[in-house]
Chains A and B, each alone.
Chain A
Amino acid sequence: MQLDEFFVTGEPLIYAGMVSIVLVSATVIFLLTYFKRWKWLWNEWLTTVDHKKIGIMYILSALAMLFRGGVDALMMRTQLAFPDMNFLNSQHYNEVFTTHGTIMIIFMAMPFLIGLMNIIVPLQIGARDFAFPFLNAVSFWSFFFGALLFNLSFVIGGAPDAGWTNYAPLAGSELSPGPGINFYLLGLQLSGIGTLATGINLMVTILRMRAPGMTLMKMPIFTWSTLITTFIIIFAFPILTIALALMTIDRIFGSHFFTLTGEGLPMMWANLFWMWGHPEVYIVILPAFGIFSEVIASFAQKQIFGYKAMVGAIVIIAGLSFVVWVHHFFTMGAGAFVNSVFSITTMMIAIPTGVKIFNWLATLYKSKIIFSAPMLWSLAFIPSFTIGGVTGVMLGMAAADYQYHNTYFLVSHFHYVLIPGTVFACFAGLIFWYPKMFGHKLNERIGKWAFWLFLIGFHLCFFPQYFLGLDGMARRIFTVGPEWFTLNFVSTMGAFLMGLGFIVFVHCVIYSFRFSPRNIEGDSWGYGRTLEWATPTPIPKYNFATLPEIESHDALIDMKEKGQTTFDRDKLEPIHMPSYTGQPFIMAAIMFFASFALVFEWITLAVIGLAGIIVMMIIRSFDYDEGYHIEVDEVIETEKKARGMTDE
Chain B
Amino acid sequence: MSEQKTDDVALEYSTHQGQMNIVGFWIFLAAEISLFSTLFATYAVLFGRTAGAPEPAELFEAGTVLIMTFILLTSSFTCGLAIHNMREGSLKGLMIWLGITLLLGLGFLGFEIYEFVHYAHEGATIGSSAFWSGFFTLTGTHGVHVTLGVGWMIAILIQLKQRGLTAVTTRKVFIVGLYWHFLDVIWIFIFTSVYMIGMVV
Q: Specify which chain A residues have a CB less than 8 angstroms from the CB of B136 in the assembled complex.
A: 255
Residues of A within 8 A of B21 (CB): 132
Residues of A within 8 A of B45 (CB): 265, 268
Say whether B131 faces chain A, with CB atoms less than 8 Å apart: yes
Query: Considering residues A132, A209, A235, A242, which has the most beta carbons from chain B within 10 angstroms of its beta carbon?
Result: A242
Residues facing B in A247-279 (CB within 8 A) are 249-250, 253-257, 259, 261-265, 268, 272, 275
Question: Is A284 among interface residues, defined by CB-CB distance under 8 A?
Answer: no
CA distance A199 to B24 in the complex (A): 10
Query: Which residue in chain A gives the minimum CB-CB distance to B151?
Result: A614
What is the bound-complex CA distance between A242 and B40, given in angstroms? 11
By the criterion CB–CB under 8 Å, are A264 and B130 in contact? yes
| Docked pose: A275 CA to B20 CA in angstroms | 30
Contact A262 B129 (CB under 8 A): yes
Residue with the highest number of chain A CB atoms closer than 10 Å, among B16, B126, B163: B126
Mask, B121-140, CB within 8 Å of A = 1, is: 00000111111011011000
A-B contact count (CB 8 A): 121
- Known contacts A242-B42, A576-B1, A576-B3; decide if A201 and B24 are in contact (CB<8 Å): yes
Residue of B nearest to A618 (CB): B155
Across the interface, do B155 and A204 meet the contact criterion of CB distance under 8 Å?
no
Say yes or no for A458: interface residue by CB 8 A criterion: no
Report B-chain residues with C-beta under 8 Å of the C-beta of A253. Answer: 126-127
> Are A257 and B38 in contact (CB-based, < 8 A)?
no
A81 at interface by CB-CB < 8 Å = no
- Selecting from B26-34, B65-73, B92-100, the interface stretch reads B26-34
- Give the residue of B35, B51, B163, B172 whose beta carbon is less than 8 angstroms from that of A263: B51
Inter-chain contact A256/B23, CB cutoff 8 Å = no
Asked if B27 contacts A234 (CB within 8 A), the reply is yes
Distance of B46 from chain A, by nearest CB (Å)? 7
For residue A275, which residues in chain B have a CB less than 8 angstroms away from its CB?
A: 38
For residue A368, CB closer than 8 A to chain B, the reply is no
Q: Whole-angstrom distance from the CB of B153 to the nearest CB of chain A? A: 11
Chain B residues with CB under 8 Å of A199's CB are 31
Instruction: A158 to B199: give the CA distance in the assembly, Å.
Output: 46
- B155→A621 contact, CB < 8 A: yes
User: CA A243 – CA B35 in complex, angstroms?
Assistant: 10
Identify which of A257, A261, A265, A624 contacts B168 (C-beta below 8 A): A624
Given contact pairs A200-B27, A201-B24, A624-B168, A238 touches B51 in the complex (Cβ within 8 A)? no
Please name the residue on chain B nearest to A207 by beta carbon.
B23
**Distance, CA A599 to CA B156, complexed state (A):** 34
In angstroms, Cα B151 to Cα A207, docked, is 31
Asked whether B2 is an interface residue with its Cβ less than 8 Å from the other chain, the reply is yes
Q: Is B74 an interface residue (CB 8 A)?
A: no
Among candidates B133, B137, B163, residue contacting A262 with C-beta atoms closer than 8 Å: B133
B163 partner residues in chain A, CB cutoff 8 A: 624
Chain A residues with CB under 8 Å of B126's CB are 249, 253-255
Complex interface: chain A residues within 8 A of B158 (CB): 622
Complex Cα–Cα for A73 and B195 (A) = 50
Q: Does A145 contact B (CB under 8 A)?
A: no
A566-582 interface bits toward B, Cβ cutoff 8 Å, 1 = contact, 0 = none = 00000000001000000
- Within 1-18 of B, Cβ neighbours of A (below 8 Å) are at 1-3, 16
- A208 interface contact, C-beta 8 A: yes
Q: Assess the B155–A238 pair: CB atoms within 8 A.
A: no
* Cα separation A272 to B37 with both chains bound (whole Å): 12
Q: Which residues of B contact A257 (CB under 8 A)?
A: 42, 46, 130, 133-134, 137
Question: Which residue from A204, A239, A261, A576 sits with its C-beta under 8 Å from B27?
Answer: A204
Instruction: Tell me if B133 and A249 are in contact (CB < 8 A).
Output: yes
Partner among A246, A254, A618 whose Cβ is within 8 Å of the Cβ of B127? A254
Task: Check A241 for interface membership: any CB of B closer than 8 A.
Answer: yes
Complex alpha-carbon distance, A278 and B45, angstroms: 21
Asked if A246 meets B27 with Cβ closer than 8 Å, knowing A208-B20, A255-B127, A624-B168, the reply is no
Whole-angstrom CA separation of A387 from B43 in the bound complex: 41
Q: Is residue A593 contacting chain B, with contact meaning CB distance below 8 A?
A: no
When distances are taken between beta carbons in the complex, the residues of chain B under 8 Å from A235 are 30-31, 34
Question: How far, in whole Å, are A204 and B131 apart by their CA atoms in the complex?
Answer: 38
| Highest count of chain A CB atoms <10 Å: which of B19, B128, B133, B172 | B133
Residues of A within 8 A of B85 (CB): none
Q: Are A204 and B133 in contact (CB under 8 A)?
A: no
Interface centre among A264, A576, A618 (most CB of B within 10 A): A264
In the complex, A196 has a CB within 8 A of chain B: yes
For residue B90, CB closer than 8 A to chain A, the reply is no
- Does B27 lie within 8 Å of A268, measured CB to CB? no
Inter-chain CA distance A235–B36, complex, in Å, is: 11
Taken together as a complex, chains A and B put the C-alpha atoms of A238 and B40 apart, in Å, by 13
Write out, one digit per residue, whether chain B residues 77-110 have a CB within 8 A of any chain A CB (1) or not (0).
0000000000000000000000000000000000
The answer to whether A262 and B128 touch across the interface, beta carbons within 8 angstroms, is: yes
A132 CB contact (under 8 Å) in B24, B49, B151, B156: B24
A559 within 8 A of B: no
Question: Inside 8 A of B23's CB, which chain A residues have their CB?
Answer: 204, 207-208
CA distance A236 to B34 in the complex (A): 8
- Report if B193 contacts A (CB, 8 A): no
Asked whether, in the complex, the Cβ of A234 is within 8 Å of the Cβ of B31, the reply is yes
State which residues 111-164 of B face A: CB under 8 Å.
126-131, 133-134, 136-137, 151-152, 155-156, 158-159, 163
Do B137 and A249 have beta carbons less than 8 Å apart?
A: yes
Contact partner of A265 (CB less than 8 A), chosen from B28, B46, B159, is B46
Interface presence of B39 (CB below 8 A): yes
| Contact (Cβ within 8 A) A256 B27 | no
A621–B159 CB distance below 8 A: yes
Q: Does A65 contact B (CB under 8 A)?
A: no
For the complex, what is the distance from the CA of A131 to the CA of B15, rounded to whole Å? 13
Is the C-beta of A237 less than 8 angstroms from some C-beta in chain B?
Answer: yes
Taking CB atoms, residues of chain A closer than 8 Å to B32 are 238
Contact flag A200-B28 (CB < 8 Å), given A242-B35, A576-B3:
yes
Q: Find out whether the CB atom of B38 lies under 8 angstroms from the CB atom of A239.
A: yes
16 A-B contacts (beta carbon < 8 Å): A200-B27, A237-B31, A238-B31, A238-B35, A241-B35, A245-B137, A255-B133, A255-B136, A255-B137, A256-B51, A256-B127, A256-B128, A256-B129, A263-B46, A576-B3, A624-B163
Enumerate chain B interface residues (CB-CB to A < 8 A).
1-3, 16, 19-21, 23-24, 27-28, 30-32, 34-35, 38-39, 42, 45-46, 49-51, 126-131, 133-134, 136-137, 151-152, 155-156, 158-159, 163, 168, 172
Which 4 A-B residue pairings sit nearest by Cβ, starting from the closest?
Answer: A255-B133, A238-B35, A263-B49, A254-B127
Not counting A246-B137, A259-B130, A262-B127, a sample of 12 additional A-B residue pairs whose C-beta atoms are within 8 angstroms of each other reads: A131-B20, A201-B24, A204-B27, A234-B27, A245-B137, A249-B126, A256-B129, A257-B133, A262-B128, A265-B46, A614-B151, A622-B155
